[in-house]
Structure 1
Amino acid sequence: MSILIAEGANVDASDWEQESPLSLAVRSNMETTAQSLIFRGAKVKTLNNSLQSPLHHAAIIENVRLIKLLIDAGSNKEAKDNEGLTPLGYAAKAGSVATVRSLLSHGCNADSIDHKGRSWLSYAAGSGSAEMVRLLLDHGAQTTQALRSARSGPIYYVLEAASQNQESVEILKILLERGVNANRTMAQMYPQPPLIDALKILSPLGPLTKQLIKLLLDHGANTQWKDGQGKSVLMYANHQEGGIRDLLRQYGAS
């Protein structure tokens, strides 16, 4: 590629996927080539067939030097691909704290959602990093994003990842203390509150199960809730071990 550039090849010629030479260089982690292309006038806002820009690729491969190079050259920091993900969205989804920190330092919007209604905060909540959750909240991520699907809220992502994430308790604590509603539902579309999600998702033998459920209860989770068929919280807890059911009773479940 460097030889072609030196011989005057079109720096913005694209392949069948609409990937420009700059996009390909970034995807391949070729920093020097990317610098050369930009120096020779390569466009930094080109999009491939998936509507991904070179900056998307830099975020995906978690290269903060390329991120700085592209943003300094004028990349669109908030461009969304065909899934509705910005470069910061990809960084949060991947759980890369360094990449998230870099993008936020360049002014990327922390309070955004993809086409399915999942926020960057939700992705961070499932990533296993309490530090990332704090970073996004400190840079303006809102805890009151409208839920568009049953799985779009950050609490759901924490619970789903709990079996593999030792920071789940800390992440849930941060979210609840920063304003996430322990009883928030999708109304008629998905009326089950986070407490029911916890009872359904968390393993009865999971080391964090009791701590996570207690956190929800301490932050006002409704133990008197019943579904449309009259099934109570305790009924949803039938598969959980006795200590969980006793805990629910202590908080008023009947």
Structure 2
Amino acid sequence: MHTDDQLLLAAARRGDPIEVRAALAAGADVESRDHEGRTPLLLAAAGDQVAAAEILLGAGADPDARDGRDDTPWLVTGVTGSVRMMRLLLTAEPDLRLTNRFGGTSLLPAAERGHVAYVRAVLRETDIDVDHVNRLGWTALLEAVILGDGGRAHEEVVELLITAGADPLLADHDGTTPLQHARRRGFDRIAGLLQAASARATPTGQGDPR
């Protein structure tokens, strides 16, 4: 790897806009990779280094460039929950259909981690698929229940997903619905939200959606 590329990767990781500009001016490759296949933009996105990311995007950095773990700068925003980075990367028109190594879009890890502001923003500002199913058979709604802690943040995420049209009846590969998972975990408030949503989604005469 050229020295300038190494300097660019380090500057992007630190979020140093002056050094990012200097490395690019010296001829560093904006799509250079570190030992894990991460580009400067992915490193900046992972560290929520917005100023550095803005410079990299201006130099033509790809928001969809995958690393060795199948992460991309865009997908990483769902993990960090950074709304600022999400909005910046949206200006580069990332592919919202790309998935991580688990087969999930950026919405799924955000729901899992209870990133309320991110979930709200990505649902309002993009056409991301609210019912995307990953390789485990989980939707964002299922992730919020199965991997969440049942606290206020995950309650809000569940509310946001339901309001955005998430199907509360979509079960996992074992046939277990979000409502059933919530009841099993003792998440009473979330179960109440899902019970009401499931009742609205259940055809008349089908009985209690257990």
Residue 215 (str. 1) matches residue 160 (str. 2) = yes
Q: Secondary structure at the match of 1:237?
A: helix
Q: Distance in 2 between matches of 1:172 and 1:77?
A: 29
Unpaired runs of 5+ residues, structure 1, are 1-17, 24-43, 46-52, 163-167
Aligned residue number for residue 108 of structure 2: 156
Aligned residue number for residue 229 of structure 1: 174
Q: Distance in 1 between matches of 2:100 and 2:64?
A: 15
Aligned residue number for residue 144 of structure 2: 198
Amino acid at match of 1:236: H
Counterpart of 1:141 (choices 91, 94, 99) is: 94
Deviations 1:71-117 (A, max 9, x none): 11211101223322100000001111222122223222222222222
Counterpart of 2:188 (choices 239, 242, 246) is: 242
Residue 67 (str. 1) matches residue 20 (str. 2) = yes
Residue 252 (str. 1) matches residue 198 (str. 2) = yes
Residue 176 (str. 1) matches residue 128 (str. 2) = no
Q: Distance in 1 between matches of 2:87 and 2:152?
A: 24
Larger radius of gyration: 1
Q: CA deviation at 1:160?
A: 4.1
Aligned residue number for residue 33 of structure 1: none
CA contact (8 A) 2:12 2:52 kept: yes
Q: Secondary structure at the match of 1:110?
A: coil
Q: Distance in 2 between matches of 1:120 and 1:181?
A: 18
Amino acid at match of 2:192: D
Aligned residue number for residue 203 of structure 2: none
Q: CA deviation at 1:151?
A: 6.5
Q: CA RMSD in A?
A: 2.1
Q: Call closer, same or farther: CA 1:159–1:73 in 2, change over 3 Å.
A: same
With normalisation by structure 1, the TM-score equals 0.71
Percent identity of the aligned residues?
Answer: 23
